[in-house]
Structure 1
């Protein structure tokens, strides 16, 4: 894995391999081979020359370190790469070397190569995202009716279900999956414009060459070159950032529910996972940590990409180069977060007893709204709300369950005693009764979810 030390545990070897220097250079060489073959098919270069160029386009025959060093002074990795390819081709056939890179330009090579590796990156993300969605849907079905505290502004609110809560995690993941599939259709496009985007060096054969190359490389054929029109590319990158933000939201909830004082969920442990160098009892939520680290970094990366859009004239100076440097990090972080959460949810421990105990520990305060609705049938909404506010304060002060105080208040009030059904009031304090709407909504939504095996599901 070629990323820096502190990046390594925040990403994955698989994604690092996609953006690894030799692999990216090989994708650029694939562009050069496709260019030669398309030009040969259109009569622009001899077929024999195209075959030699194709044979020469094998990264194992190149000094990658030297190409990287030379790119600094050249201002583009494509320049020393094409020079090395020309030399390599000449060693096989001097005549064929005259036809290397005909009619193209450095940005064509780099952008098309980057589109090819990004396609692989998106495939990794889609596979990991599908696996996470599938696992969350299984858990949501298992816990569609499991009562758990809902929390607003980090405070206990009312009772929901774990399945319904998980639906709130699943929905944006599915939307990002749909969006990435759709955006990739246009963003993963061939770049072929030549010096200033007009393909003038290929004469009237330029569009035909582009069509052949797009088909050969499996890339979209754009209306024209997009050397400094980066909108489709940026929409794709921004969506990866949005996905990473969603993963951060899930990680936040998971980490909060895994706090020792809460103890409702726990990441898998064992084998040194989540340990502490000082405290033997610690069980740190490392998957949540990795996903949150990616979510913290994604806004800056997306912001940097957007800041690179104001590219001058027909070729950017500095902004395009900055964009290329930022792009891999976005995907490295997203995939690291996905794989971390996949690991967490594959072995997730759900403590339903602790969930109910956390509800019970609040002395019935989270049922005040439901109890108010029962009282409102006798004294109206405003007065019922006022009564429950007063009783809630008393419950906190006296550490007495709100149900007991409410029953006592009903018996003491002429306005309430003969008009409030005690069974209905007791039912309002039942966690299962309180969770019934969330459970039903969870079941309905889960039943309507399409299969994630459909890439557009």
Structure 2
């Protein structure tokens, strides 16, 4: 009997989910891993657990150092160092150990608590039998709800990611744009409003506008507050005061949060309200969108020939057209900025709401902070590399200017208005007369000079306008670039 090939079952493919080492599901942990790897130290699941351990350890040290719980022994310097070494030596083995414990506890913060207690129980083997660390085991996670640990851990994570990784990259990019602005401050360029030829500017001034906008957002991000709390299950210090009523728990809480380098939030429910996160992510998303504007503008200047992509041409631009060097850095940046901004918007919108005193929507939401910041960091890298591969082409800009003499119409009609106000006759309807001369068709330099010299303007005004060209009609554009360096410019 003949079998119809069309009905035969296809051979089963090997499951990629079973490949070792595991294959990344997303591009940040796959194709783009090298660019965003520094964020792993701050925004990964392992980083979250390390910061949880850090907070728990510091809380234990804080309680014992300040004699908060009567009868609790003081820790020696060696014992405090031993505790802090749990954080310093946090590695892949610790990650695996926590994962194994969490499979039993089905609770991530409880797994961290047990890890520290196990280290305390094992301390005599390292420090000697007279160590008091086993005696303070029940001060681990003392009077804490999980969110006391989590909110502080996340604040430290985000603070580290922004200040140590994202901000340095963003500042380097803005400095790069500012340097280009100064370099090209006096290079005349035809402006385009609504896509149409408009009053000339300079390439440097247009780059300076973008650098100035980006720097404003960086100042806001640089000044962000990172809030934290450690006040119990509903923010009332109920368990604290029930256990040790004589302690000034509000002052102890504030001192601990500030000891971690965070801003203390005195009024919370079970969770720290995350408003600071929403504010920060809004500012970062706004920075993304300004940078997106830069990427699309530079892409357009490349398409107009104002920039030549001259470096890195060993790469394949097009798979079929050998003459092409595609502006892929800027296109990739656009896409990653859009993804990042969408995630940051979602984080900010979700995190500011919590039902009554607690729900868990923030828990899974905050696990996506890494991708949100990662796509922005990837875009920063793309734009920086894209800009580094560009050379301005003043000759191309000059050709465009010389083909658009009609843009001088604004200058001439403005001079006519001023002369008319000063009493010069024959200056009536200046806008309409320039509109008739220039709208809908191109004019030459000779056409413009002939028109200007026939208006009856005062001689010095007529000669000044007749000598003007589109390339010299850039106003104070070059001078304005220097405001990038002025700290007195108001936000």
Same fold flag (TM > 0.5): yes
Cα root mean square deviation, aligned:
3.3
Q: Where does the alignment leave 5 or more consecutive residues of structure 2 unmatched?
A: 1-21, 125-133, 242-246, 420-424
Partners of 1:410 and 1:171 in 2: CA distance: 37
How many angstroms apart in 2 are the aligned matches of 1:24 and 1:366?
Answer: 58
CA distance in 2, matches of 1:278, 1:387: 51
Partner residue of 2:234 out of 191, 196, 205: 196
Matches within 5 A, 1:227-242: 227-242=271-286
Alignment partner for residue 325 of structure 1, among 358, 363, 367? Answer: 367
Out of 194, 207, 215, the residue aligned to residue 174 of structure 1 is 215
- Equivalences for 1:3-152 in 2 at 5 Å? 4-7=25-28, 8-9=31-32, 12-43=36-67, 44=69, 45-48=72-75, 51=80, 53-57=83-87, 58-60=89-91, 62-65=93-96, 67=98, 77-92=108-123, 95-123=135-163, 124-152=165-193
- The answer to whether the 8 Å contact 2:45/2:367 transfers is no
Task: Specify every segment of 5 or more residues in structure 1 that has no aligned partner in the other structure, as ranges.
Answer: none
SS in structure 2 of the partner of residue 12 of structure 1: helix
Q: Compute the displacement of 1:317 (Å).
A: 2.8
SS in 2 for 1:245: helix
Q: Mark the structure with the bigger radius of gyration.
A: 2
Tell me whether 262-271 or 305-314 shows the greater mean CA deviation: 262-271
The change in CA–CA distance for 1:442 and 1:379 in structure 2 (over 3 A counts) is: farther
Q: Which protein, 1 or 2, shows the higher relative CO under an 8 Å CA cutoff with sep ≥ 6?
A: 1
Gap change, CA 1:104 and 1:410, over 3 Å in 2: closer
Matched, 1:158 2:231: no
Q: CA offsets per residue over residues 228-247 of structure 1, 9 Å max, x none?
A: 52222211121111111111
> How many residues end up aligned between the 2 structures?
436
One of 275, 292, 317 as aligned partner of 1:248: 292
Higher helix share: 1
More displaced stretch, 401-410 vs 39-48 = 401-410
Q: Cα distance 1:368–1:109, how it changes in 2: closer, same or farther (>3 A)?
A: same
SS in 1 for 2:190: strand
| Deviation sequence 1:6-53 (CA, Å, 0-9, x none) | 335395222344323322321111101101001112332433597465
8 Å CA contact 1:228–1:311 kept in 2: the answer is no
